[in-house]
Amino acid sequence: MPSLALGSSEVTPLELAGAYGVFAAEGFRADLHAVEGIVNRKDDVMGRAEHSGEQVFTPAETYLVTSGLEGAVERGTGRGLRAWGYRGPMAAKSGTTNDFRDAWFVGYTASLAVAVWVGFDDGQSLGLSGAQAALPIFARFISAARWAASDRDFRRPPELEIVAVDPRTGLAAGEWCGGEPEYFLPGTAPPEGGGCPGRPGLPRWIADAEARASAGVQWLIEQLRGRSRRIR
């Protein structure tokens, strides 16, 4: 079913943590174990789970996902994590199913992957999103587990290309157009868009100054409109 790509199938928190763990481990999929080992009351190890797995993606492929999910923490639905005080490297994503029945927040560092699910056994609505219900639990846990989470940055594979992309066109930004730096597999970067659309050859500092001035004027207009409505 096409909807499977959007997450219509049910998964357990362990399965989802394992999937995100592949990204944290630079493409290595480890077999999942609910129990790591067994010890007796004397702390003698009576048995351990056997560790095995396989490389299913290249580090470069998984880093593209990691880079995007880092953006979700800084600018997307995971930005509340910073409000809770966590400052270390983190790639994460919130999730909310239909009618707010399930709230998810899943994230990982270079050494730890964590999945949080909040919901009712009978499937009734929570009335809360993943960012509202699951993110605070994730934030408290990851802050307490800093010893395991590590402050080590994600390793960027050297073969990736870095290209500034013009958000208006999706093409590589011209020399003076600015653009946001994005990572690409070798040979997959978009072609250059041929300068600033409608303003070829415009120096970048002038374009930036115009953008800031335009934003300031727009803000002022909105303030004046609001004041005018209150006077009436």
Selection from 142-146, 153-157, 202-206 with the highest mean pLDDT: 153-157
- pLDDT mean over 39-56: 86
What is the rounded CA–CA span in Å between residue 182 and residue 197? 20
| Better-predicted residue by pLDDT, 45 or 221 | 45
153 CB-near residues (< 8 Å, 6+ apart):
89, 110
Q: Convert the pLDDT of each residue in 49-95 to its tens digit.
A: 788 889 999 999 999 999 999 999 998 889 899 989 888 899 999 99
Please state, rounded to an integer, the average pLDDT across all residues of the chain. 81
| CA gap 91, 86 in Å, rounded | 12
pLDDT category of residue 196 using cuts at 50, 70 and 90:
low
205 pLDDT higher than 50: no
Distance CA 195, CA 142 (A): 44
Q: What number of other Cβ atoms are within 10 A of residue 213's Cβ?
A: 10
Structural domains in the chain, sorted by start? 2-149 (3.40.710.10), 161-231 (no CATH)
Averaged over 25-51, what is the pLDDT?
A: 86
Listed in sequence order, the residues at least 6 apart from 89 whose beta carbon sits closer than 8 Å to its beta carbon are 70, 109, 110, 151, 152, 153, 154
Using DSSP, state whether 189 is helix, strand or coil.
coil
Any bridge partners for residue 113, and if so which? 108
Q: Give the per-residue pLDDT at 126.
A: 93
> What single-letter amino acid sits at 176?
W
Whole-Å CA distances, 40 to 37, 43, 47, 49, 51: 10, 5, 10, 16, 21
* Packing angle, helices 59-75 and 13-24, rounded to 10: 110
| H-helix or E-strand spanning residue 70 | helix 59-75
The per-residue pLDDT for 202 is: 43
Average pLDDT for residues 128-142, to the nearest whole number?
Answer: 94
State pLDDT tens for residues 103-126. 999 999 999 999 999 999 888 999
**1-31, pLDDT tens digit by residue?**
566 666 667 788 988 999 999 999 999 998 8
pLDDT greater than 80 at residue 46: yes
Q: pTM value?
A: 0.73
Residue 215 banded pLDDT, cuts 50, 70, 90: low
